[in-house]
Structure 1
Amino acid sequence: MTEGQSAGVPAARLEQLRAGLATVERRIDAACAAAGRPRSEVTLVVVTKTYPASDTRLLASLGVRHVAENRDQDAAPKAADCADLPLIWHFVGQLQTNKARSVVRYAHHVHSVDRSRLVSALSEAVLKAERRELGCLVQVAFDGGTAQGRAGVPPEQVLEMADLIADTPGLRLDGVMTVAPLTGPLTGDPSAAFTRLAEISTAVRASHPAATMVSAGMSGDLEQAIAAGATHVRVGTAVLGARSPLG
């Protein structure tokens, strides 16, 4: 079986993914060069939500090692289908506490920790699963607390949440994450939001030096995120193509 025929996927799809991946890699290279940063400082996390496990397999064959999902009902079976691959799984969506036990079975990092009840649920699930630890990032919200805004912890509460994660059995504080805000004073200015996230990351690392992950930037704003110091960019559409409206 050839690379392009693996899992019954046409060779054309492999070439689509190869082209998308190459384009994104060039963008990351250019952004790192413009920011005066080594390319090795930025990890590409490919967001595979709404796409089949066959695409994840093809991405792995192209050298992708970090993949992300935002819904457990999609991620759990996909991770099981791809359990033989050398992948690092990131959970990046809003997480309900009743999904914690499932998520800890496959996720290496959860980027969307935003409340104490979720911290407790993840800890309990990790300890029951008898796994070593789960990496957690504090999701930071820059929407000003509006109902239409993103999930996340307000900036002034991030240090408290970071301390809680670091002190909770089974959890490891890895860093901070944000998504460019939909409402509030930073709407339409992802650079400002990402710069503020970098400042928050510096404050967190003063107490937790190992919490070095700064997860920010997606297909439309990865350059701004890298310029502000992001260590992980979460890119889906630019690699895999436009998603279904239901995705």
Structure 2
Amino acid sequence: MTRRDELAANLAEVRARIEAACQAANRSPAEVELLAVTKTFPASDVALLSDLGLSAFAENRDQEASGKTVEFAEARPDARPLWHMVGNIQRNKARSVTSWADRVDTVDSIRLADALAKAAAHRGRPLDVLIQASIDGDSARGGCPLPELAALADHVAGSGELRLVGVMAVAPREMNPARAFSVLADEVYRLRRDHPAATVVSAGMSGDLEDAIAHGSTCVRVGTALLGGRRLASP
């Protein structure tokens, strides 16, 4: 089996899971975006996934992503993918991240938001961002504590260089995913009262995407189920 065949089979299986989860939740599969998490995988895999119809890819390290996006552009010059940053960002890397990322999904503090806003000034257009919510409040894993979510959302929305498009979260390992995503759904409901344009809910990964979709996720981040075990990225 070629790598393309392997990816095609995995993609078909993931899409079937998304469709089944949407059917169970009485939702349309068109409401849920599949974001391919390509961290640690080479640009050649991204090119194959692009050939198979995917157009949104996620990276978690600036150094890896900045090179990979260039490699991909050279391999598929006519493609126009959207690149997402889904990792923690050091503020001194903000300008580099804004040079390749179409959306940053891990804004968890006012200081990071301000650094990204300053760095995004050179883009000529606002940078789309998601606020990363910490469902359990454990700062060691990143994310904005839920009681501080509204203030951070207001701050981001007030920036002319950033555009608040929604919320991202990871279910804590020690918490039942369905319970975690139920808590997130309540927070999203409250947030949208003040920011109705923040419609994206990025929640659910390879192991818990069904629970996330059942609780309103509009974007599932899939790596292992799509690409397999971790590999070394291209140089």
TM-score band by shorter chain is over 0.9
Paired residue total: 229
- What does residue range 125-164 of structure 1 map to in structure 2 within 5 Å? 125-127=119-121, 129-145=122-138, 147=140, 150-164=141-155
**Is the deviation greater in 105-114 or in 27-36?**
105-114
Secondary structure of 1:82's aligned partner: helix
User: For residue 219 of structure 2, what is the amino acid of its counterpart?
Assistant: H
Secondary structure of 1:123's aligned partner: helix
Structure 1 length as normaliser, TM-score?
0.89
Aligned to 1:45: 35
**Post-superposition offset of 1:130:** 3.2
**Post-superposition offset of 1:244:** 4.6
Aligned to 1:36: 26
User: For residue 56 of structure 1, what is the amino acid of its counterpart?
Assistant: V
**Post-superposition offset of 1:74:** 0.7
User: For residue 192 of structure 2, what is the amino acid of its counterpart?
Assistant: R
Aligned to 2:53: 63
Aligned to 2:164: 173
Structure 2 length as normaliser, TM-score?
0.94
**Post-superposition offset of 1:14:** 0.4
Change (3 A) 1:245 1:193: farther
Secondary structure of 2:2's aligned partner: helix
Contact 2:41/2:232, CA 8 A, preserved across alignment: no
Q: Percent identity?
A: 50
**Post-superposition offset of 1:117:** 1.2
Q: Counterparts of 2:207 and 2:101 in 1: how far apart (Å)?
A: 25
Return 5+ residue gaps in structure 2 as ranges.
Answer: none
**Post-superposition offset of 1:146:** 5.8
**Post-superposition offset of 1:245:** 9.6
Q: Counterparts of 1:22 and 1:110 in 2: how far apart (Å)?
A: 27
Whether 1:89 and 2:62 are equivalent positions in the alignment is no
Aligned to 1:228: 215
Q: Counterparts of 1:91 and 1:100 in 2: how far apart (Å)?
A: 11
Whether 1:19 and 2:35 are equivalent positions in the alignment is no
Whether 1:124 and 2:111 are equivalent positions in the alignment is no
Residues 12-40 of structure 1, C-alpha deviation per residue, up to 9 Å, x if partnerless? Answer: 00001101111000000000000000111
Aligned to 2:97: 103
User: For residue 35 of structure 2, what is the amino acid of its counterpart?
Assistant: V
Return 5+ residue gaps in structure 1 as ranges.
Answer: 1-10
Secondary structure of 2:144's aligned partner: coil
Contact 2:137/2:144, CA 8 A, preserved across alignment: no
Q: Counterparts of 1:36 and 1:171 in 2: how far apart (Å)?
A: 33
Which of structures 1 and 2 has the larger relative contact order (alpha carbons within 8 angstroms, sep 6+)?
A: 2
- Cα RMSD (Å) of the superposition? 1.5
Aligned to 2:204: 217
